[in-house]
Amino acid sequence: MNYLSIENISKSFGERVLFEGISFGINKNQKIAFVAKNGTGKTTLLNIIAGFETADTGQIVKRKDLNIAYLSQKMDLNTSLTVEQSIFNTDNPILKIIETYEKALEKPEDTEAYQTAFDAMEQHNAWDFETQYKQILYKLKLEDLHKKVKDLSGGQQKRLSLAICLLQNPDLLILDEPTNHLDLEMIEWLEAYFQKAKITLFMVTHDRYFLERVCNEIIELDEGEIFKYSGNYSYFLEKREARLAVEKATQEKAKNLFRKELDWMRRQPKARTTKSKSRIGDFYKTEEIAHKKRNDHQVQLEINMHRLGSKIVELHNLSKSYGDLSVLKHFDYVFKKGDRIGIIGKNGSGKTTLLNLILGELLPDTGKVVIGETVKFGYYSQKGIVIKPEQKVIDVIREFGEYIPLTKGRSLSAGGLLERFLFNRKQQYDFVEKLSGGEQKRLYLCTVLIQNPNFLILDEPTNDLDIVTLNILENFLLDFPGVLLVVSHDRYFMDKVIDHLFVLEEGKIADFPGDYTDYKMHQDTLVKIGVKKEKLDTRDNSNKKITLSYQEKQEFIQLEKDIYTLSKDKDTIEQAFVKGTIPEEKMYEIGQRLKKIITSIDDKEGRWLELSMMME
């Protein structure tokens, strides 16, 4: 069933054309991701579909009575309302029934009002929805229903907007970067929610694991054309690569044909036959293909890093509290050359506080931070770039100098550097406030990296960056020889660029020797084998130290991977026996295999427990 059709729409801002004549449809139960580079109008397209902006040409055709909910990046909440009032202030009739019932519970002496509200809950079968409503609020940490919206943080307001959208029970849910301002636990819950929900989605997101696990179709806007891929993110990457290879081969053939036909065109007399006119028409089509240029310049990062000495950053007995809330307790760590550390934890657990303590922007309650003389910090904060009125893009870079030093004694002009960060000559003289959110983040990243840091601190660097820029940034960070400290909820990004984690929980920091997927597998393994969650080197007490060698740490991580994989194999075989799908002649062979798997799991769990005891 077709829910909505986008028919030949175009949008421009002055001379800047975002998209022109694009068309596609959204059908029931599709979970579509819209993929495009920053600055090509992703958010504008969502606003047009949701009815908040109008297209210059074309139209949006919607099914009659289509219920659309839209989670935009700009939240439109009434700040004078409470959380509960904001949720009930919608057109969903079931929510109105629940609201009446909740109010009746507050006045149990009014038995008539309670009975009426109870009967309405029964009549409309609102009990299941009430359970869902409470679960969503719990998962999104919005349990203080009487708190005013104006007193919520930006992240809490984003989560409230998400809750309101989910509880509208829409036919079509439009999402613009839904994972921004969510911690990892919330993202994984939302991921699982969308995987199971019978809901139609159209979203823009840079979260590649989210794309992989939620979406069943990807629509790409590339060089002004729409391309559709009926599959998840892995399928999209595979098919896009094949499409570009075909496009390149077609262009090479067109170039060869163009050279031959150009010679024929030069030899033709002015009087043309009908046949030659047709050939001339084909020539110009071939010329267009042969000279088509892709805007595929990649961000080139060749920054000249300052030399890093042997003494880098030392944290001694750091503690920090806000009133009764302790976010850090007696933390010690000595940074080493080549450290690539990710920081994870729930919202409010103190991730940004730790960064600010290291940078000296906050003072600890106890302890001290010792900074080596050669350390030069580069800090990419969540606040982003400070936009000055009528400041042009190139002026932002010129504040650091007309020429920027690169590796091997070379230098580059401010304009040349901006071109490497995908800002063409025309865009360099645009006002910064006219850039899209993603373009502003890319410009901000440029200002951080051109200062040649050797200790790079990134606080949520992936928000609003397109996937192309993310891939380039990841490749740069893999080659970055300095110290890297990253706070991010982007699991794909973390897996690619870091090799161990600081896990923040209740004021303590666990130092986990692996990437995010390793950590998640570790937690799943603990649940699987019924072991209470361990604290890996909490560092809250100087008398507790990990006694494992490097090789034992690596063995510990590998054991978890093996246990996880073997347990999945065991479950698959056992399910096959239950369902009776194993051929009789194979039963003995597979039974023996199952026996070996169970023995192997027992052995590995024993060694895992032995190593985990050494970590206490």
**DSSP state, 306?**
P
pLDDT digits (tens, 9 = 90+) for 242-276: 888 877 777 677 666 666 666 656 666 554 555 56
2-13 and 16-27 as β-strands: parallel, antiparallel, unpaired? antiparallel
Share of the chain above pLDDT 90, in %: 25
Q: Give a yes or no: residue 164 inside a domain.
A: yes
How far CA 127 is from CA of 67, 85, 90, 111, 120, in Å, comes to 22, 20, 18, 19, 10
Question: Which one is predicted more confidently, 289 or 342?
Answer: 342
Q: Is the pLDDT of residue 536 over 50?
A: no
Are residue 346 and residue 469 in the same domain, yes or no?
Answer: yes
Write the pLDDT tens digit of every residue in 585-616. 888 888 888 888 888 888 887 787 777 766 65
Give the tens place of pLDDT for each residue, 87-137.
888 777 888 888 888 888 888 788 888 888 888 888 887 887 878 888 888
Whether residues 133 and 181 share a domain: the answer is: no
In a domain, 529, yes or no: no
Are 424 and 290 found together in one domain?
no
156 and 177, same domain (yes or no)? no
- Is-above-0.75 flag for pTM? no
Residue 294 predicted with pLDDT over 70: no
- Average pLDDT over every residue of 133-149: 86
Q: Is residue 358 part of a domain?
A: yes
CB atoms within 10 A of CB 517: 14
Which residue matches tokens 């891939």?
471
Q: Is 184:523 a contact under the CB 8 Å cutoff?
A: no
Q: Say if residue 127 is in the same domain as residue 102.
A: yes
- Does residue 295 have a pLDDT over 60? no
Q: Can you tell me the mean pLDDT for 5-29? A: 90
Neighbours of 345 (CB within 10 A): 22
* Token digits of residue 15: 């001379």
Q: Is the pLDDT of residue 195 over 60?
A: yes
pLDDT at 379: 93
Same domain, 14 and 28: yes
Give the side-chain half-sphere CA count within 13 A for 567: 17
> Does some domain include residue 71?
no
Domain boundaries, position 105: 76-168
Reported as a single tens digit per residue, the pLDDT across 430-464 is 899 888 888 888 899 888 888 888 999 999 988 87
Q: How many other C-beta atoms can be found within 10 angstroms of the C-beta atom of residue 370? A: 11
Mean per-residue pLDDT for 576-583?
Answer: 80
Please report which confidence band the pLDDT of residue 286 belongs to, taking 50, 70 and 90 as the band edges: low
Where does a domain end: 294, 321, 350? 294
Domain count, the chain: 4
